[in-house]
């Protein structure tokens, strides 16, 4: 047999063409109302649900991928904003060290996270979304192409079944008519033939009719079996797949919500750290504006005026500072500070006693009330701002 292509013979091609022509003819007859069509309203509803489910799943998968692209874009934009802030932060501004620490991924102990954690949070969030919600949808959608192909095959086999059924019914009617004709000679050949030959002719006609009838009956049985096997399989699978969508959607959005909640909770801590630095920078600006205004007016700053007349300061007074961080004393010679406390810095009795980065002082409120420096203590200089 001649080959028309890789693995396809001319005979096979002819059979396929004949099948398509037969199906097309059957569909035309059904549409014109000249042939009845096998209908299953329950199955048609299953197919409608399948198509709806496939379209919704495809849309959700597409939107999840778009969301992940947006996460990546936001990560890049967030990193550029952090870099921009670190570059523009001027040396004399409050929190310069903290900002440098953020940029250098070296945050002080009181901060929960650092810049490396920011990048890690974004990358973990993106990866977790890839591993859980998106992979769930990937696996979910792999079922649909095969089932859709089998639904289409079932529809074709249903048309084949209808065609075989109609052909067999047509032969049944023809067989009855032929059997009636065989009882009396109807053709000139039969009338001219001897009586002994007429029996042979009749037997031949019966055999030919029976052969076509038997072949059509076999074709009908085979077409019905193929159709019903596909139909039964899909009637089991389609409802199960339809019910499965609830669990898939629950798992997808629970995972999405859980990763979002964790990501935003951790990011809010970092945002609060940055917000605190900005708040204290604004406080520094206001203090500087107040000092500059007082100096330009030729009068002492308001904070200094509360200390009384000139010479009403403790011995060894150097200058006044304001606490910009809380400081919990860890030793008896240290001074406990709360943000906003005004402190009078004092000279050490012996310069060698002073450690780098530490000052000696007494709270202004204690001095004004008691006029003694018995409550003096040391405190970290970088927790205060000179006023």
pLDDT in tens, 145-181: 999 999 999 888 887 777 777 877 777 776 666 555 5
pLDDT digits (tens, 9 = 90+) for 13-61: 666 666 666 666 666 666 666 555 667 888 889 999 999 999 999 999 9
Q: Do 54 and 187 sit in the same domain of this protein?
A: yes
Q: Which residue has the tokens 């055999």?
A: 207
Q: Do 199 and 313 sit in the same domain of this protein?
A: no
Fill in the DSSP letter of residue 35. S
Q: Do 159 and 79 sit in the same domain of this protein?
A: yes
Q: For residue 88, what is the domain's CATH number?
A: 1.20.1270.60
Q: Do 240 and 151 sit in the same domain of this protein?
A: yes
Residue 127 maps to a domain: yes
- What is the Cα–Cα distance from 119 to 96, expressed in whole angstroms? 21
Q: Do 170 and 48 sit in the same domain of this protein?
A: yes
Dihedral angle, C-alpha 346, 352, 353, 356, nearest 10 °? 80
Higher pLDDT, 230 or 104: 230
Q: Do 67 and 174 sit in the same domain of this protein?
A: yes
- What is the Cα–Cα distance from 211 to 217, expressed in whole angstroms? 10
pLDDT exceeds 80 at position 2: no
Mark out the alpha helices in 89-114 (DSSP H runs): 96-103
- What is the Cα–Cα distance from 203 to 185, expressed in whole angstroms? 12
The dihedral through the CA atoms of 348, 352, 354, 357 has a sign that is positive
pLDDT exceeds 80 at position 71: yes
Q: Do 313 and 189 sit in the same domain of this protein?
A: no
Residue 3 maps to a domain: no
Residue 301 maps to a domain: no
By percentage, how much of the chain surpasses pLDDT 70? 70
* Structural domain for 372, as ranges: 307-386
Q: For residue 312, what is the domain's CATH number?
A: 2.30.30.40
Tokens for 39? 């209908």
Higher pLDDT, 115 or 183: 183
Residue 14 maps to a domain: no
Among 236, 376, 261, 267, smallest CA distance to 316 is for 376
Fill in the DSSP letter of residue 132. I
């Amino acid at each position: 047999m001649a080959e028309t292509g890789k693995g396809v013979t001319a005979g096979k091609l002819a059979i396929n063409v004949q099948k398509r022509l037969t199906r097309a003819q059957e569909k035309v007859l059904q549409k014109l109302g000249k042939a009845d069509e096998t209908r299953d309203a329950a199955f048609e509803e299953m197919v409608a649900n399948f198509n709806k489910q496939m379209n919704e799943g495809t849309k959700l998968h597409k939107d999840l991928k778009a969301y992940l692209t947006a996460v990546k874009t936001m990560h890049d934009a967030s990193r550029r904003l952090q870099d921009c802030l670190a570059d523009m932060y001027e040396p004399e501004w409050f929190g310069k060290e903290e900002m440098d620490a953020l940029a250098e991924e070296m945050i002080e102990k009181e901060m929960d996270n650092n810049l490396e954690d920011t990048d890690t949070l974004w990358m973990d969030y993106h990866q977790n979304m890839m591993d859980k919600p998106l992979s769930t949808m990937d696996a979910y959608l792999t079922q649909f192409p095969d089932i859709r192909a089998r639904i289409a095959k079932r529809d074709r086999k249903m048309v084949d079944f209808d065609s075989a059924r109609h052909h067999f019914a047509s032969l049944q009617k023809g067989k009855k008519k032929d059997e009636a004709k065989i009882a009396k000679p109807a053709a000139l050949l039969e009338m001219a033939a001897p009586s002994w030959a007429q029996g042979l002719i009749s037997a031949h006609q019966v055999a030919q009719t029976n052969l076509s009838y038997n072949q059509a009956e076999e074709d009908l049985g085979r077409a019905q079996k193929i159709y019903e096997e596909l139909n039964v399989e899909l009637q089991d699978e389609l409802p199960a797949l339809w019910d499965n969508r609830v669990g898939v959607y629950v798992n997808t959005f629970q995972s999405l919500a859980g990763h979002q909640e964790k990501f935003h909770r951790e990011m809010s801590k970092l945002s609060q750290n940055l917000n605190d630095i900005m708040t204290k920078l604004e406080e520094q600006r206001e203090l500087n504006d107040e000092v500059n205004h007082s100096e330009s007016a030729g009068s002492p700053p308001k904070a200094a005026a509360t200390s009384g007349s000139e010479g009403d300061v403790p011995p060894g007074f150097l200058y006044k500072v304001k606490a910009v961080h809380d400081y919990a004393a860890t030793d008896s010679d240290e001074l406990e500070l709360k943000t906003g406390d005004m402190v009078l810095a004092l000279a050490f009795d012996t310069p060698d006693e002073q450690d780098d980065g530490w000052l000696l002082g007494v709270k202004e409120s204690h001095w004004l009330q008691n006029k003694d420096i018995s409550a003096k203590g040391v405190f970290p200089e970088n927790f205060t701002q000179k006023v």
